[in-house]
């Protein structure tokens, strides 16, 4: 597993995609964060004339939660760029069968690729945590628990996103098809909760329960919701198992 981890990490950083996407993510999140800070500063100055309004002006709602939501949403765009090559490239180059001859199990192969991809994907996402830290000296009423739980949600959601991308990559030898299919799937799981609000009772509850957005929102409130943790964990396990099944089937067919 360590060998696969090192090999894939080296491949990621040999190409410009890791540097470009991480830089682009930080620039976008930084720009949106700066806009929220400026807006909060202007509204705070206006609120000084209205003490009652100032009490309801919470920095977490105005700055931290938008930063977390923007980071999580933008990572849905970038994750497919990393997962598309996990198995599609191996299949296209004909090296997947070669990997089957290595002294490692399919489980070790999957987790080696999972951890390497997660390391690169989460690099940019977790670096955005430096943005709220810049306010540490100037803000006294920030709820840091929502920052910590929010980034825990980003980690869990990213692993779930990588797992479905890995499964799709194991189905095709086209990186383009894998990337677009993964993005479409992630976008569907992000907005499916919106459909749930317009659906009848039981269906609405089910669609909301499998929505990335609704489950991630729970983490931005500063509380670790066990149901949301279990959702992302079980989601990841399901698609990792489907990937394992695809590899086993291909191995026996080969």
| List of residues 6+ apart from 149 with CB closer than 8 A | 219, 220, 221, 222, 223, 224
CB neighbours of residue 12 within 10 Å: 19
What DSSP character marks residue 199? S
In this prediction the pTM is 0.90
N-to-C CA span, the chain? 22
CA dihedral 190, 116, 131, 16 (to 10 degrees): -100
- pLDDT value at residue 228: 93
Using CA atoms, how far apart are residues 9 and 56, in angstroms rounded to an integer? 46
Using CA atoms, how far apart are residues 241 and 233, in angstroms rounded to an integer? 12
In tens digits, what is the pLDDT along the chain, a chain of 254 residues? 777 788 787 888 888 888 899 999 999 999 999 998 888 777 766 666 665 555 556 777 788 889 999 999 999 889 999 998 888 887 777 777 777 777 778 888 899 999 999 999 999 899 998 988 887 766 666 778 888 999 999 999 999 999 999 999 989 888 999 999 999 999 999 888 776 555 566 777 788 888 898 899 889 888 888 999 999 999 999 999 999 998 888 767 65
- pLDDT value at residue 14: 83
- pLDDT value at residue 197: 59
């Amino acid at each position: 597993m360590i060998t696969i981890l090192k090999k894939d990490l080296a491949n990621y950083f040999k190409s410009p995609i890791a540097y470009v996407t991480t830089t682009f993510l930080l620039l976008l999140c930084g720009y949106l964060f700066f806009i929220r800070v400026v807006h909060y500063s202007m509204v705070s100055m206006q609120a000084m004339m209205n003490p009652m309004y100032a009490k309801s002006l919470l920095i977490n709602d105005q700055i931290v939660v938008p930063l977390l939501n923007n980071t999580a949403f933008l990572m849905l765009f970038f994750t497919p760029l990393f997962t598309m090559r996990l198995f599609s490239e191996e299949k296209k180059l004909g090296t997947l069968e070669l990997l089957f001859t290595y002294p490692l199990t399919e489980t070790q192969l999957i987790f080696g690729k999972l951890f390497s991809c997660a390391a690169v994907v989460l690099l940019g996402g977790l670096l955005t945590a430096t943005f709220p830290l810049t306010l540490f000296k100037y803000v006294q009423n920030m709820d840091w628990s929502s920052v910590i739980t929010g980034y825990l949600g980003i980690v869990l959601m990213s692993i779930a996103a990588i797992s479905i991308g890995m499964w799709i990559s194991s189905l095709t030898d086209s990186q383009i098809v894998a990337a677009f299919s993964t993005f479409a799937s992630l976008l569907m799981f992000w907005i499916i909760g919106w459909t749930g609000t317009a659906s009848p009772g039981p269906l609405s509850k089910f669609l909301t329960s499998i929505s990335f957005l609704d489950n991630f929102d729970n983490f931005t409130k500063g509380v670790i919701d066990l149901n949301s943790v279990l959702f992302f964990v079980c989601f990841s396990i399901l698609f990792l198992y489907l990937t394992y099944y695809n590899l086993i089937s291909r191995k026996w067919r080969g």
